[in-house]
Amino acid sequence: MKSTDAKHPVAEKIPTELKKHDDVRIDNYFWMRLSDDQKLAPIKDAQTQKVVAYLEAENEYYENVTGYTKTFQEELFHEMKSRIKEDDSSVPIKSNGYFYSTRFEIGSQYPIYSRKKETLEAEEEILFDVNEMAKDFDYYQLGGLNVSEDNKLVVFATDTVSRRQYFLRIKNLETGEIYKDIIDNTTGGSVWANDNKTIFYTKKDPKTLRSEKIFRHVLGTPTSEDVEVYHEKDETFGTYVTKSKSKDYIIIGSYSTLSNEAQYLDANNPTGKFTMLQERVADLEYNVSHYKDHFYIMTNKDNATNFKLMKTPISQTTIEHWVDVIPHREDTLLEDFSIYKEYLVLEERTNGLNRIRIKRWDETEDYYLPFGEETYSVGVYGDDEFDTEIIRYSYNSFTTPSSVIDFNMADKSKEIKKEQEVLGGKFNKENYRSERVWATARDGKKVAISMVYHKDTKLNKDTPLMQYAYGSYGHTVSDSFSTTRLSLLDRGFVFALTHIRGSQYLGRDWYEDGKMLNKKNTFTDFIDCSKYLIDNNYTSAKHLYAMGGSAGGLLMGAIINMNPELYNGIIAAVPFVDVISTMLDDSIPLTTGEYDEWGNPNDKTYYDYIKSYSPYDQVEAKEYPNMLVTTGYHDSQVQYWEPAKWVAKLRELKTDTNLLMLHTNMEAGHGGASGRFEALKETAKDYTFFLALENKVNIENSKI
């Protein structure tokens, strides 16, 4: 990017001594941490004013450095926006006699939710116009829509701060009245009992934001009289409430990274007592669905690392009664399953690729849906209908826009209900190439790299390449289509998605080998993939860029500490970089539930290991690549002070003159801006950073 005379902020150093296991760390920027009360108080205290002033100074520095790109950013935003069908709508989903859909109007930031009774030709009934609801807020999120069984009432959840602490309210769909009942500090989810007047919902701990209690609310009664039906007291577990697809049972689930527990209740008897299905056992994971007189259970029981499907009679639900339905397979990860009246649908992953398997209950058929591309993404929609022969799934790839497809499991016919439109008249899927290659990691494991680029892009040492990964919590990033990414591909960039350990791309073992005391495999896999791309002439260190967010931001922090010379620039979005301090503080939201992912640093073994890679603790006096770090002031998952402290420490120690910028969205949290166009503007800023480093932004007229 263009050099600038702007002076970056210099954060004050106020040493704070942190002691643990006879180890002393000095944190010069600990003062940047504010409590939620301080952030939300109408009158700011001195420390809050100081922190906000620092964040705003960093934002001003970012604006000064990138000022010459503003015209280009705006053009890039409009370019990406022009590909989107603004007056778009979802494929209607049938549920309990109604067709539900979501649509956008031209120029609107937020969706409109509506339904039609029995046929698609019926009169549209508007449930919520989020544009109206959001007009007085900088951030607005509507979610958790849950219609009663008699179709007359809907529970809805709203968040106006971006901390994922939702208010629950109830709307009468016949009169349009929104009831006075307001339930605060919830997860946003709810469940109706079959009496159409009782709901169950989950409350969070107001400080740690752990989902900890299930309550029962009866329409028309004060929320202060709501009955607590379950309290999850283990701080390493969270809880939730759901309803079986059969509508027969309300299920309370408890979960940690490594084990689960479920209780169930007859949905016709909301004041009854929940029955334990199977008590939690260390390292036993399971989730439950109901069909006829059995519960069906996806589980890792009997060392089924890649999971298997079992069933147990409703009258005998404890583990000794479970029997195999789909046995464990060493080469196939069972990711999910859906139960229909005549069919069982399985979602699997083999050699990194999604597969959909359809099996009749009467065992007369058992087959896989065919997919032709080498790398793609496919998934079954969460379907509310039980007695149907139709499943709906989505399909897309790096080069193929998303399609929504209805598949008839009886006659094997399919109907494409919707194909994603890429407007602007310039997109042709034949102009793009995708491939999957395998890099060899330093311990001999093969790591997949999925790539996409324009057919006219020459692959050599001068080719700009953006490498992306996440690599934590077993989350697998799919090889999916992106209209915004076209703005990079059309300008000569290669996009490379690396399927590093910590995901489940190659099964559950792939995840286990990238967590806890194996976490460094995640970082070295990414680095070894970078070296593969350089060694095989896809790019060079001068033109290699990297990007990751949240736990992927931790990945960015680790790789630039380990091998900064490999990258010309990185973007770390809402990065989890002060790992050791955060994991030692159980007052920070969600910390205790993370011990099974990262380890508990109150144990010295884990303390030493985490400290050895924690990006904030490992910053050294050396050269670092160009960097853009982004965060949200109200982020509840990765607190803003982690990236703020990290940038301050990097400024203090780094020996290069490369760019280092911090941008804080003062109105948003972990997910960034809430409106669809505001989110596009953030993407335009990110892409401009990479394009400017490649000198593809012309200062005079901003054109490329």
**Segment 1-17 mean pLDDT:** 83
Q: How does pLDDT run across 316-339, given as a tens digit for each residue?
A: 999 999 999 999 999 999 999 999
Phi (first) and psi of residue 467, to 5 degrees: -100, 130
Asked if residue 416 lies in contact with residue 405, where contact means CB atoms within 8 angstroms, the answer is yes
Strands 353-360 and 343-350: antiparallel
Asked if residue 54 lies in contact with residue 394, where contact means CB atoms within 8 angstroms, the answer is no
**Segment 57-80 mean pLDDT:** 94
Between 701 and 28, the more confident residue is 28
Structure confidence at residue 565 as a pLDDT band (50, 70, 90): very high
Structure confidence at residue 6 as a pLDDT band (50, 70, 90): confident
Instruction: Scan for tokens 């329409």, then name that residue.
Output: 219
Cα–Cα distance measured from residue 630 to residue 664, given in angstroms and rounded to the nearest whole number = 6
> For residue 13, how many C-alpha atoms fall within 13 Å in the half-sphere facing its CB?
11
Q: Is the pLDDT of residue 196 over 90?
A: yes
Structure confidence at residue 126 as a pLDDT band (50, 70, 90): very high
Q: Is the pLDDT of residue 145 over 70?
A: yes
Q: How does pLDDT run across 255-283, given as a tens digit for each residue?
A: 988 899 999 999 999 999 999 999 999 99
Q: Is the pLDDT of residue 670 over 80?
A: no
Cα–Cα distance measured from residue 300 to residue 45, given in angstroms and rounded to the nearest whole number = 51
Cα–Cα distance measured from residue 463 to residue 545, given in angstroms and rounded to the nearest whole number = 11
Record the tokens describing residue 260, joined without a space.
């689960």
Record the tokens describing residue 299, joined without a space.
């589980």
Asked if residue 297 lies in contact with residue 309, where contact means CB atoms within 8 angstroms, the answer is yes
Q: Which of 413-427, 604-618, 688-702 has the lowest mean pLDDT?
A: 688-702
Structure confidence at residue 119 as a pLDDT band (50, 70, 90): very high
Which pLDDT score is estimated for 675?
A: 65
Which pLDDT score is estimated for 669?
A: 53
- One-letter identity of residue 516: M
Asked if residue 259 lies in contact with residue 282, where contact means CB atoms within 8 angstroms, the answer is yes
Cα–Cα distance measured from residue 220 to residue 61, given in angstroms and rounded to the nearest whole number = 53
Q: What integer best gives the mean pLDDT of the chain?
A: 92
**Segment 658-677 mean pLDDT:** 76
Cα–Cα distance measured from residue 155 to residue 50, given in angstroms and rounded to the nearest whole number = 41
C-alpha distances (whole Å) from 516 to each of 63, 512, 582, 594, 619 are 39, 8, 15, 10, 21
Cα–Cα distance measured from residue 110 to residue 130, given in angstroms and rounded to the nearest whole number = 6
Q: What's the CA dihedral at 93, 476, 331, 409 to 10 degrees?
A: 10
Phi (first) and psi of residue 366, to 5 degrees: -160, 105
**Segment 295-322 mean pLDDT:** 97
What's the angle, vertex CA 594, arms to CA 511 and CA 502, rounded to 5? 15
Asked if residue 241 lies in contact with residue 201, where contact means CB atoms within 8 angstroms, the answer is yes
Stated pTM of the model? 0.86
Q: How does pLDDT run across 340-394, given as a tens digit for each residue?
A: 999 999 999 999 999 999 999 999 999 999 887 888 999 998 777 788 899 999 9
Cα–Cα distance measured from residue 21 to residue 151, given in angstroms and rounded to the nearest whole number = 58
Q: Is the dihedral of CA 549, 554, 559, 561 positive or negative?
A: positive
Which pLDDT score is estimated for 5?
A: 63
Q: Is the pLDDT of residue 79 over 50?
A: yes
Q: Is the pLDDT of residue 545 over 90?
A: yes
Cα–Cα distance measured from residue 235 to residue 289, given in angstroms and rounded to the nearest whole number = 26
Beta bridge partners of 694: none
121 Cβ contact partners less than 8 Å away, ≥ 6 residues apart: none
Cα–Cα distance measured from residue 231 to residue 215, given in angstroms and rounded to the nearest whole number = 9
Nearest to 170 by CA among 149, 195, 194, 199: 199
Record the tokens describing residue 375, joined without a space.
């790398």
Percent of the chain with pLDDT over 90: 80
Which pLDDT score is estimated for 700?
A: 42
Which pLDDT score is estimated for 702?
A: 39
Cα–Cα distance measured from residue 531 to residue 537, given in angstroms and rounded to the nearest whole number = 10
Percent of the chain with pLDDT over 70: 96
Show which residues are catalytic. 550, 635, 670
Region of 550 please: left (phi>0), alpha (psi -120 to 50) or beta. Answer: left
